[in-house]
Amino acid sequence: MPFVYDFDHKHRRPPMDLKALLGGKGANLAEMTSVLGLPVPPGFTISTDACRDYMHGGWPDLLSGQVGRARARLERKMGKRLGDPADPLLVSVRSGAKFSMPGMMDTVLNLGLNDASVEGLARQTADRRFAYDSYRRFVAMYGRIVLHVPGEDFDGLLESAREQAGASSDAGIPVERLQDLVDAYKKIVRRHTGRPFPQDPDLQLRGAVEAVFRSWNGARAVAYRDHEHIPHDLGTAVNVQAMVFGNRDDQSGTGVGFTRDPATGAQGEYGDFLVNAQGEDVVAGIRNTEPLSALKHEFPKIHAELLDIFARLESHYRDMCDTEFTIEQGKLWMLQTRVGKRTGNAALRMAVEMTKDRAIRLTREEAVQRVSGEQLEQMLHPQFAGGGHDVVTRGLGASPGAAVGRAYFSADDAAAAAGRGEAAILVRSETSPDDVHGMLAAQGILTARGGLVSHAAVVARGWGKPAVVGAEKVRIAGRSFTVGSTKVSEGDWLSIDGSSGDVVVGRVELSDAEPPAELQTLLGWADTIRKGRLGVRANADNGPDAENARRFGAEGIGLCRTEHMFLAEDRLPIVRRMILASSPAAEEAALEELRVAQRTDFLDILRAMDGLPVTIRLLDPPLHEFLPDLSELAVKKATTGLTKQEQALYAAAEDWHEVNPMLGTRGVRLGVLKPGLYAMQVRALMEAALERVDGGGRPVVEIMIPLTVTREEMAEARRWVDEAVSSTLSAAGVRRTRSRLKVSIGTMIETPRAALRAGDIAQEADFFSFGTNDLTQMTFGFSRDDVEGRMMAAYLDKGLLARNPFEVVDADGVGELVRLGVERGRAARPGLKVGVCGEHGGDPESIRTFAAAGLDYVSCSPFRVPVARLAAAQAVLELQAKAGPARKAAPARKAAPGR
């Protein structure tokens, strides 16, 4: 089994399809080398297979030989040898997993230098300073990463050398001091490891490869994979590549370039570069960079060559690419490329524009798949509301959206504050992978240094978290910062705008997002794709919400919770009178008052959703939710005493008190005990619907029974509803069969039994709607109120649950019940309409589960409707792709050129 592949290896399939084997970086290096013929420094990739074998059983026996032979081939290609005292080859050793994990794993540069070869390098380059600077960097990097020497030890020495030399940057340190530094560094290594710094290039290489393997299981990498839901057993590949030097001279440089603007999606190159620098200097954000466009003046030939490469990359990858390049003494080398990360706005704009780009010709189906639900959400992020706030400074808008929180100056402090429930803004000079937990916990990120591709910017964009970077006027000192005369201390409020880069001291009010014009285009395409396959409705309980939902593109109401109407301040006393009623007449009178009130509620909703289905769920919560708190009444009774009215309420609260209200007398059970309640609600609804019909409206009413567990129960509830519908119609002199009113009667499927017995229940139900929130509670035995704090945190932390099942529906357990419910319901009643109205209805991954189960629609909160429309279309496309090429809407991948 081969573990090692040269970049120019002839693979049977396009290398970019071999990311699982070669890692993303290795696959793209091979693609650029062997398919596109771009100027890539030669090298080879050690596969992820080797890493997995290493993790299970240590260094694979066959690996040393294969690496040795690959090294020999590389040395032949370059005409140089590692460690050669005359003309040494230097290599970089970099990680590269299947999924991009930027900065999470380790890299070693300048490998191959030793006490002898550094002299060869000095001679060959006629640049002694360069040689010793490279050796100094190598010893420090190797020492830190492979030999676990604390990096500060090296940094401290470097700083004093710089100070002694009176230099403003490392470049000012004279060569003699660099030589001294190398000696001092080697002593540090000896002190820490008990052995001299390894001089044998073979040992160096093996050490570096093992360090990269090990870094797969480093704490940072594991935490990142947990957050990104990347499996832990994939392993990383290792790329060994001939070094080229952007730090040779002023005809050298290094940069990061995007084929389009990853923040806005605008066409044209975008990026940063630094003259006379190595790549790490750009990414670390330590030196402020120049924009890529400046290259045009400083290196016009290189600039033209780069633009040509960018065009070839875009047309080849059919997407925006992210590259790293180095100029070595006037020659351009491509070190890396990949499909670039982007903001939601950029993703949207590119997706739409690339359908018109002749070199790319994206189909609409592909375009729809280019924008993720998370990106759409991020696009819909809030912004600063209005103007008038005092901008204390402005940095680079690195990740859009506005955030408000209290300032914290370390990742630990920000995470702790978030743990206490505080909104935090993490303020750092610059960020590093060690800060990831704090960045994750914070509402937004502010850095004083670094550009748009600095660590802070890249990570924040990936997570859709607002970030302002490179706000150079910010001076951080301990747990506070100053901008001019303004001082902000830990815990002070801060507001940032990740689009404009504005930083405001204090709390700025936020407003809704204003997504770009391309959004409607893309959502229109998404609607076409999912039409007739997966509908999107909204959950709304009143007229304004329903109007809002319709504006967002909802195709009806999937869940109108009538209890919200009961809890209104003016209704509650009537509801309580109904509960306390001592006679049927008194109960009837209270119900009558409620009927009049509910009728208005229903009228507003039906008006807003005219012509679209509106699913009204009859009363669901246990009655004690409408009564005062028992414990409070008990205290009052024991202290000031209770009024007569309170005594009655106390008795009722005791009577209806439940140990586990979630599993108690609620939903249709309430209907069984108080059938007048449901009849009242149906009468109010039918009166509202009739009024709509009289006014020329087209109400489409779906009456939904909550919490059904048996067919008999559903049949009984159906009888009540049917009777109330008929009596209301006949009271109004309307014949049901002739009415323009469409009324169907269905049920929530929210208990495991209802899902299992869906075949029985479907015989009495015109439609099903899965209440996946309650279904999750009962399937897991998780009371959301009780487990989502301490317990869920512990479970996610220990990996006992991969996700919070209330956020992403549990595809294995709850998902199986949904699939069974759909299957059995439709077997009993072909064509049964089935939807979902839990909060999961707005979550893209859950939508995928629901689409695969064959649901007709999802329903979610109004503001998530756009996300659901997009995710629904993507789910439909995925299912079509799975169903086989015959049904695929998108054309097959464009053949790679030159093949």
Q: Which residues are catalytic?
A: 455, 837
User: What mask, x for binding a copy of itself by CB under 8 A, covers residues 492 to 521?
Assistant: ------------------------------
Structure token pair of residue 61: 């026996």
| Amino acid identity, position 370 | R
Among 638, 886, 892, 895, binds a copy of itself (CB under 8 A): 638
DSSP state of 660: S
Residue 147 or 715: the one with the smaller Cβ distance to a copy of itself is: 715
Among the candidate windows 133-141, 196-204, 368-376, 666-674, which touches a copy of itself by CB under 8 A? 666-674
Residue 116 or 794: the one with the smaller Cβ distance to a copy of itself is: 794
Query: Distance (Å, rounded) from C-alpha 557 to C-alpha 840?
Result: 15
Among the candidate windows 20-28, 101-109, 148-156, 782-790, which touches a copy of itself by CB under 8 A? 782-790
Q: Per rule CB under 8 A, is residue 231 in the interface with a copy of itself?
A: no
Radius of gyration of the chain (CA): 33
Q: Per rule CB under 8 A, is residue 524 in the interface with a copy of itself?
A: no
Q: Per rule CB under 8 A, is residue 852 in the interface with a copy of itself?
A: no
| Overall size of the chain counted in residues | 899
Contact between 383 and 502 under an 8 Å Cβ cutoff? The reply is no
Q: Per rule CB under 8 A, is residue 587 in the interface with a copy of itself?
A: no
> Which of these, 258, 271, 323, lies nearest to 31 by C-alpha position?
323
Q: Per rule CB under 8 A, is residue 749 in the interface with a copy of itself?
A: no
Q: Per rule CB under 8 A, is residue 527 in the interface with a copy of itself?
A: no
User: What mask, x for binding a copy of itself by CB under 8 A, covers residues 701 to 720?
Assistant: ------x-xx-xx--x----
DSSP state of 800: S
Q: Per rule CB under 8 A, is residue 568 in the interface with a copy of itself?
A: no
Among the candidate windows 330-338, 611-619, 775-783, 847-855, which touches a copy of itself by CB under 8 A? 775-783
* Least distance from a copy of itself to the Cβ atom of residue 800, Å: 5
Span 607-636, contacts to a copy of itself by CB under 8 A: 630-631, 634-635
**C-alpha 172 chain-centroid distance:** 43
Structure token pair of residue 821: 């419910």
Q: Per rule CB under 8 A, is residue 661 in the interface with a copy of itself?
A: yes
Query: Distance (Å, rounded) from C-alpha 394 to C-alpha 384?
Result: 14
Among the candidate windows 114-122, 184-192, 195-203, 785-793, which touches a copy of itself by CB under 8 A? 785-793
DSSP state of 763: G
Q: Per rule CB under 8 A, is residue 779 in the interface with a copy of itself?
A: yes
Q: Per rule CB under 8 A, is residue 769 in the interface with a copy of itself?
A: no
Q: Per rule CB under 8 A, is residue 757 in the interface with a copy of itself?
A: yes
> Which of these, 318, 326, 321, lies nearest to 269 by C-alpha position?
321
Among the candidate windows 70-78, 237-245, 429-437, 656-664, which touches a copy of itself by CB under 8 A? 656-664
Residue 109 or 811: the one with the smaller Cβ distance to a copy of itself is: 811
Angle between helices 128-145 and 151-165 (to 10 degrees): 150
Among 672, 732, 881, 889, binds a copy of itself (CB under 8 A): 672
Residue 597 or 672: the one with the smaller Cβ distance to a copy of itself is: 672
Angle at 280 between CA 72 and CA 461, to 5 degrees: 120
Among the candidate windows 134-142, 231-239, 695-703, 799-807, which touches a copy of itself by CB under 8 A? 799-807
Among the candidate windows 10-18, 291-299, 682-690, 813-821, which touches a copy of itself by CB under 8 A? 813-821
Contact between 840 and 846 under an 8 Å Cβ cutoff? The reply is yes
Q: Per rule CB under 8 A, is residue 808 in the interface with a copy of itself?
A: no
The burial class, CB within 10 Å (0-12 / 13-18 / 19+), for 81 is buried
Residue 432 DSSP SS3 = coil
Sequence-ordered list of residues with C-beta below 8 angstroms from that of 93, at least 6 positions apart, any chain: 107, 108, 109, 111, 205, 208, 209, 212, 238, 239, 240
Sequence-ordered list of residues with C-beta below 8 angstroms from that of 809, at least 6 positions apart, any chain: 772, 776, 815, 818, 838, 840, 843, 845, 846, 849, 850
* Beta partners for residue 328, in sequence order: 331
DSSP state of 341: P
* Least distance from a copy of itself to the Cβ atom of residue 801, Å: 6
How many positions of this chain bind a copy of itself (CB under 8 A)? 56
Element (H, E) at 483: strand 480-483
**Residue corresponding to tokens 């995925």:** 878
Residue 39 or 675: the one with the smaller Cβ distance to a copy of itself is: 675
Among 790, 830, 892, 899, binds a copy of itself (CB under 8 A): 790
Q: Per rule CB under 8 A, is residue 669 in the interface with a copy of itself?
A: yes
Q: Per rule CB under 8 A, is residue 155 in the interface with a copy of itself?
A: no
Among 17, 115, 180, 816, binds a copy of itself (CB under 8 A): 816
What is the 3-state composition of the chain as percent helix, strand, coil, each rounded to the nearest 5? 50, 20, 35
Residue 261 or 713: the one with the smaller Cβ distance to a copy of itself is: 713
Q: Per rule CB under 8 A, is residue 361 in the interface with a copy of itself?
A: no
| Amino acid identity, position 854 | G
DSSP string, 213-247: HHHTTSHHHHHHHHHHT--TTS-EEEEEEE---TT
Q: Contact residues for a copy of itself (CB under 8 A)?
A: 630-631, 634-635, 637-639, 658-665, 669, 672-673, 707, 709-710, 712-713, 716, 750-753, 756-757, 760, 774, 777-783, 785-787, 790-791, 794-795, 798-801, 810, 812-814, 816-817
